[in-house]
Amino acid sequence: MTARRAPRVPVRPSVSGLPAYVPGARTPVGAAAYKLSSNENPYPPLPSVVAAIADAADDVNRYPDMYASELVAAIADHLASSSAQDPLAAEVAPFRVTPENVVVGNGSVAVLQHVLEAVLEPGDQVVVPWRSFEAYPIVVAVAGGEMVPVPLTDDARLDLPAMAAAVTDRTRAVLVCTPNNPTGPAVRQDEMDAFLDAVPSDVLVVVDEAYVEFVRDPRVVDGLATLDRHRNVVLVRTFSKAYGLAGLRVGYAVARKRLARAIRATSTPFGVNHLAQHAAIASLAARDELLVRVENVVAERDRMVGLLRDRGWDLPDAQGNFVWFPLGERTVAAAAEAAAAGVLVRPFAGEGIRVSVGEPEATDLLLEVSASWR
């Protein structure tokens, strides 16, 4: 008698069909290579931040503050006191941020997931620029939504008029990545104003500003001022990039109080661990030192872009801590050449290579390697 196969537990089709998130290549154990594949800050944490982590380690037998109250208050105070003259926070803040407007989570990806979970019903559509952040298709699908991708312009910028035209009665949210990862350009204020005028006020517009501290385009979106004028805007930011805390995972959203309460309700309990909370607080307290490091990264980015353009490269505007090479079908082979030469980069097969800004020596080596890519 043939044994009958036991039925299997079904998996949601939207989950079984999820694309895999591909992290940046890691340096093999024992190998010598520059890791320019993950948009990490090339500097280690500040000494005061390391000290805060060490001090907090004594209490890891206890649960962290579930709502990260001290960190939330520090973020709100930082944003409320930001000024246009501060290159780390390039917006004037007419919208007075309070702790009730801030929700923290386990990195900006988790925060974005909670934002979408707060507003999406199964089958709702989310308009997304593409190519953009690799996690977007994943978080949209997990939240039960349907992603509507809108191609970038020929110069690798978000096509906001086309994104506005893609909004339908089924659209519940739009994701705006600025600067756009992995291509680099930032959305400008006039573009955002026209876009928000064209989008219904009951459609959530998530402005993903993971790289905002590196932006030097004077026309860039003023996030808090935009939130002040439009109640359907939510900002998402992170401590992973400029603050150099990628290994601890701290992100946050800034929203109107009603939306913030909803996002908080969907958030994972104790989502930001004890060490991460103290490290982020210490980072905000050491902003002067941080500003120096951010400026160093921006200077190295501009040096890299300038030298590449001197050598004939036509590259998109780089406003993050990375540079985009639109190599098309040559992408995978070029990435392999870079790895063999000792530079790990992030390939997007058939599209291009993203190279993070690292040490000056890494830039010099990249210049040698990329000479053959043209």
Q: Enumerate residues 6+ apart whose C-beta is below 8 A from 169.
A: none
Question: Which amino acid makes up residue 179?
Answer: P
Residue identified by tokens 């058939």 is 350
Q: Enumerate residues 6+ apart whose C-beta is below 8 A from 299.
A: none
Tens digit of each residue's pLDDT (9 = 90 or more) over 51-76 = 999 999 999 999 999 999 999 999 99
What was the pLDDT predicted at 1? 57
Written as six digits, the tokens of 117 are: 């979970």
User: By C-alpha distance, which of 89, 97, 98, 136 is closest to 115?
Assistant: 136
Tens digit of each residue's pLDDT (9 = 90 or more) over 268-277 = 999 999 999 9
Average pLDDT for 159-187: 98
Comparison of pLDDT for 16 and 357, the residue scoring more:
357
Question: Which amino acid makes up residue 232?
Answer: N
What was the pLDDT predicted at 5? 78
Q: How far does the chain reach from its first CA to its final CA, in angstroms? A: 66
What was the pLDDT predicted at 14? 75
- In sign, the C-alpha dihedral spanning 347, 351, 357, 360 is positive
DSSP 177: E
What percent of the chain clears pLDDT 90, i.e. is strictly above it? 86
What was the pLDDT predicted at 85? 41
pLDDT band at 29 (very low <50, low <70, confident <90, very high): very low
Q: What crossing angle do the helices spanning 360-370 and 287-310 adopt, rounded to 10°?
A: 20
Sort strands 204-208 and 346-348 into parallel, antiparallel or unpaired.
unpaired
Q: Report long-range pairs for 342-345 (Cβ below 8 Å, ≥24 apart).
A: 342/32, 342/33, 342/34, 343/33, 343/34, 343/36, 343/369, 344/24, 344/25, 344/26, 344/27, 344/33, 344/34, 344/35, 344/36, 344/37, 345/25, 345/36, 345/37
262, pLDDT greater than 60: yes
Q: Which SS3 state, helix, strand or coil, does residue 32 take?
A: coil
pLDDT band at 341 (very low <50, low <70, confident <90, very high): very high
Measured between alpha carbons, how far is 244 from 45 in angstroms, rounded to an integer? Answer: 6
- In sign, the C-alpha dihedral spanning 20, 21, 25, 27 is negative
Give me the count of residues in the chain. Answer: 374
Query: Contact at 8 Å (CB) between 211 and 179?
Result: yes
Phi-psi region of 35 (alpha: psi -120 to 50; beta: other; left: phi over 0): beta
**Looking at the whole model, is its pTM more than 0.85?**
yes
- In sign, the C-alpha dihedral spanning 197, 202, 203, 208 is positive
Measured between alpha carbons, how far is 304 from 355 in angstroms, rounded to an integer? Answer: 10
Measured between alpha carbons, how far is 232 from 68 in angstroms, rounded to an integer? Answer: 25
What was the pLDDT predicted at 87? 46
Query: Contact at 8 Å (CB) between 272 and 111?
Result: no
Measured between alpha carbons, how far is 143 from 336 in angstroms, rounded to an integer? Answer: 35
Measured between alpha carbons, how far is 150 from 165 in angstroms, rounded to an integer? Answer: 10
What was the pLDDT predicted at 93? 45
CA–CA distances in Å: residue 340 to residues 88, 103, 106, 207, 228: 36, 42, 34, 37, 49
